[in-house]
Amino acid sequence: MSAALPWTRRRATVVRAVGVVGVVGTALTVWLGLWVTSPDKVQGDLVRLVYLHPPIAWVALYLAFGTAALSSVLWLWPRTRSMFWDRLAVSAMEVGVVFTALTLVTGTLWGRPTWGVWWAWDARLTSTALLLVLQLGYLALRRVPTDPQARARRSAIAAVITAVDVPIVHFSVNWWHTLHQDATVLNANLSPTIHGSMAWTLLLGFVSITLVFLWLLAERYRIEVLSDDAAETSFESALAERWAEGGVAVDEPLADPEAGPRQPVRS
């Protein structure tokens, strides 16, 4: 404990710093997006939602889901198999659900005044909604009672299968050319069709929301570790109680080590 504690504090400080910088950056993005930047020639003031919607979508689609899928592959790969990857995958997936839901909500709030409808069965919207359902399915699958290894295996397989939806979401605007506009920043030529204060505000939004995601991911990962510790501790406490019921001290040495684990004796 004494060796682990300073490292824990250092890591907690880093996580807190990432969170603070992310929150301050997001506040700055809001200020620039709402009060400093000019309205767009075509979209008018609605362009202000663009400083928030694409950064949130970037986190939901690429960072969160990418982290979950990659972690799941690393868990499935025997050489890199570790519960670290399983915990990271579920943490990224849960945080990703929040960002995917926000992607849909902010997109809808932009789409209603722009397209005239709250929802359209557009390729990008539909594939993103499917992604949210798949993420919720993953989290539901994890709640099925089983041992940790089996849960990690089936979750990892589910995450890898559902990752197929990510390229569909990304390329949907190019493949089907439905209502949603083509990529502005991550387009085929990697030449953003946006410039000036708008581009810098959008870039700040991407960086800030990414930092917020990393902070939330670190917090969620820590919860996963602590939950496992709490479950282990409560199991050992229950075991100790069972031993105590038998009138035997837990740390009392075995009379016959060859006889195997001692069973509690009911009085």
Partner 1 sequence: MSYIAAGYATALSVLFSYGVALTARRRRLERAVMGAGEDGGAETRAAPR
Q: According to the binding rule CB under 8 A, does residue 254 interact with partner 1?
A: no
Q: According to the binding rule CB under 8 A, does residue 68 interact with partner 1?
A: no
Q: Would you tell me how many other CB atoms lie within 10 Å of the CB of residue 247?
A: 10
Q: According to the binding rule CB under 8 A, does residue 245 interact with partner 1?
A: no
CB 184 within 8 A of CB 58: no
- With CA atoms as reference, report the closest residue to 142 among 197, 78, 72: 72
Site for partner 1 in 175-214 (CB under 8 A): 212
State which residue, 163 or 215, has the beta carbon closest to partner 1: 215
Q: According to the binding rule CB under 8 A, does residue 52 interact with partner 1?
A: yes
Q: What is the DSSP string of the chain?
A: -TTHHHHHHHHHHHHHHHHHHHHHHHHHHHHIIIIISPPBTTTBGGGGGGGTHHHHHHIIIIIIHHHHHHHHHHHHSGGG--HHHHHHHHHHHHHHHHHHHHHHHHHHHHHHHHHS-S----HHHHHHHHHHHHHHHHHHHHTS---HHHHHHHHHHHHHHHTTHHHHHHHHHHHT--SSPPPSSS-TT---S--HHHHHHHHHHHHHHHHHHHHHHHHHHHHHHHHHHHHHHHHHHHHHHHHHHTT--TTSPPS-GGG-SPPP---
Site for partner 1 in 97-136 (CB under 8 A): 98, 101-102, 105-106, 109-110, 112-113
- The stretch among 64-72, 123-131, 193-201, 223-231 that binds partner 1 (CB under 8 A) is 223-231
Length of the chain: 267
Q: According to the binding rule CB under 8 A, does residue 39 interact with partner 1?
A: no
Binding mask 140-179 for partner 1 (x = CB under 8 A): ----------------------------------------
Q: According to the binding rule CB under 8 A, does residue 42 interact with partner 1?
A: no
Q: According to the binding rule CB under 8 A, does residue 18 interact with partner 1?
A: no
Among 32, 37, 53, 85, binds partner 1 (CB under 8 A): 53
- The stretch among 45-53, 63-71, 133-141, 152-160 that binds partner 1 (CB under 8 A) is 45-53
Site for partner 1 in 85-104 (CB under 8 A): 95, 98, 101-102
| Gap between the Cα atoms of 250 and 259, Å rounded | 17
CB 208 within 8 A of CB 58: no
What is the smallest separation between the CB atom of 92 and partner 1, expressed in angstroms? 13
Q: According to the binding rule CB under 8 A, does residue 8 interact with partner 1?
A: yes
What is the smallest separation between the CB atom of 266 and partner 1, expressed in angstroms? 23
Q: Which residues bind partner 1 (CB under 8 A)?
A: 1, 4-5, 7-8, 11, 19, 26, 30, 33-34, 45-46, 48-49, 52-53, 56, 83-84, 95, 98, 101-102, 105-106, 109-110, 112-113, 212, 215-216, 219-220, 222-223, 225-227, 229-230, 232-234, 236-237, 240
